Amino acid sequence: MTEIAATTPAPVKSGGLGLRQSQFKWLLVVPLIVFFCIFFVIPVGLIFATSFNPSAIGQVAPTADITLENYIRFFSRSNYLMAAGRSVVLGVVVALVTLIVAYPMAFVIAKTRHPGRNTTLLILVLAAMQLDMVIRLYGMMVILGDNGLINQMLLGLGLTSEDAPVQLMYNFLGVVLGLVQFALPFMILTLVGVIRGIDPSLEEAARALGASRRRAFFRVTLPMSMPGILSGSLLVFALSISSYIVPALMGGFRVGVLPIHIFQQVAEGARFQFGATIAVILFLLSAGAIAIYLRVGARRSGGLA
């Protein structure tokens, strides 16, 4: 009897409705799946379908007519190809600059053990996210404009003149600065969680073996924080190439990126089919960045390339 009791499997716990625990866990995911399908899969599918329809001003709903004329138009016009390349370059530059600026702050927050100081630093990071993006950009315009604080300071120092102020806005530099200010909290918060998860004993072991603080950082801490660097860079890249309000305000519609062209086609020209085509190209660029992230992450983790 003892042997039979020992070999008898334990009963599977069930939820309040008589469901197995594994089935109950899947039921918890159902609302998210439904939300994802309704507000992402279906809209993106409609955009893909619309992009293959013939161009018809004012027509929104997809039709059964299939054509490639919108894609041929996109890839045969140099201004659209330049906008796609400019969007990618902008995303890469913003991701690099944001990473360089955010990593020291994230490192300090992650290594600060005093609760009060840690809370203060986090409040400084989160405070920028509490204001609306338009308000934050107008604040930057006051600082970076031709008659802004920086140009007034340079004018007072005799480094510039009223007729030739330093152009910090309505160009590629202005868009980069605006996007870095916008994406900085996202990068910091992503890095803080990863750096906190690094076992301090690993760096202590490197120091015990004779490594300096600098060498221990570059050989232990920095490589182990690479998952946060990759995920934060991917997030910032996606936010940058898909941003409309920053290029519109900080670039003054002079920096042609894909979101600007989408707005012009849909809102100004009512050409929903070609606007959907540009949106599909933008989506594929983001998907390509995700594919590169997964490939690099698999290589660094020892997975299949």
* Domain assignment of residue 98, yes or no: yes
Domain count, the chain: 1
Model pLDDT for residues 147-156, shown as the tens digit of each residue: 889 999 988 8
User: Taking 80 as the threshold, does the pLDDT of residue 226 lie above it?
Assistant: yes
Mean pLDDT throughout 251-273?
Answer: 91
The amino acid occupying position 206 is A
Mean pLDDT throughout 243-261?
Answer: 92
Mean pLDDT throughout 151-171?
Answer: 87
* Domain assignment of residue 76, yes or no: no
User: Taking 50 as the threshold, does the pLDDT of residue 185 lie above it?
Assistant: yes
Strand partners, 20: 14
User: Taking 50 as the threshold, does the pLDDT of residue 305 lie above it?
Assistant: no
User: Taking 80 as the threshold, does the pLDDT of residue 127 lie above it?
Assistant: yes
Q: Are 235 and 187 in contact (CB under 8 A)?
A: yes
Model pLDDT for residues 51-109, shown as the tens digit of each residue: 999 988 888 888 888 999 999 999 999 999 999 999 999 999 999 999 999 999 999 99
Specify the residue for token string 């933008």. Answer: 282
Residue span of the structural domain in which 184 resides:
82-300
* Domain assignment of residue 46, yes or no: no
* Domain assignment of residue 42, yes or no: no
Sign of CA dihedral 76, 82, 83, 85: positive
Distance of alpha carbon 72 from alpha carbon 178, whole angstroms: 33
* Domain assignment of residue 206, yes or no: yes
Of the candidates 240, 230, 226, the residue with the CA atom closest to the CA atom of residue 181 = 240
* Domain assignment of residue 280, yes or no: yes
* Domain assignment of residue 260, yes or no: yes
- CATH number, domain containing residue 257: 1.10.3720.10
Please report which confidence band the pLDDT of residue 20 belongs to, taking 50, 70 and 90 as the band edges.
low
* Domain assignment of residue 66, yes or no: no
